Amino acid sequence: MTKRLKVKKRSRTRKLARTDLILTRFVASGSYEYWLAHGCNYLNSDLEEAHWSPLFPEIYKDDSQLSREGVVIRVNDFLESQAAEGSGISTRHSTLAAWACMDAETLMPFWGQIQKGIAELGVDPDIAMQGDVWHFFEDMVGGAAKWLQGREREEAALAALATPSPAPSFLTL
């Protein structure tokens, strides 16, 4: 049995080392920053309305150098301007903010999911307004909306429990 445990441990170690290598390459190649910006472009756009509104259009035109901080600052400035205009912050904008703040280790599984799904279709996920990639991000916004609705219901139920209810009528004089 001891040998079996060593084999499992070794294969787990190899898997972790492989994941670390993929993560290192993902960051070193600039894919991490590109996909932060690319994802923000999709999340700020609306597939249902067929309205493409990228926050980072330059990533499709040249070899622009983005940093995580630059992405976060631009998204933050955009969301502040939306709030100042009185448009409020929608679920789409909340998802946009969460995406912009992801570290490479958190973003990489989403990237892998997109790469795997798109590879089966034979299309390029790195281009603007790619329909299948856009659907992935729309599903993400929909999932966030469902989660937020669940939280609102949960908070309403907790508030109702915390609110003292009137005494039953048979106890009132």
Among 5-14, 22-31, 157-166, the least confident range: 5-14
130 vs 46, which has greater pLDDT? 46
Q: Which residue has the tokens 């070794």?
A: 10
The total domain count for the chain is: 1
- Taking the CA atoms of 129, 134, 70 and 24 in sequence, report the sign of the dihedral they define: negative
Q: Considering the domain boundaries, does residue 84 fall inside one?
A: yes
Running DSSP on this structure, what letter comes out for residue 163? S
**So what's the pLDDT on residue 169?**
40
63-115 pLDDT per residue, tens: 778 888 999 999 999 999 988 888 777 778 888 888 898 888 888 888 888 88
Contacts of residue 68, Cβ cutoff 8 Å, sequence gap at least 6? 32, 33, 36, 103
Q: Considering the domain boundaries, does residue 103 fall inside one?
A: yes
Q: Is the pTM of this model over 0.75?
A: no
Can you give the residue range of the structural domain that contains 139? 30-150
Helix-then-strand count for the chain, H and E: 6, 0
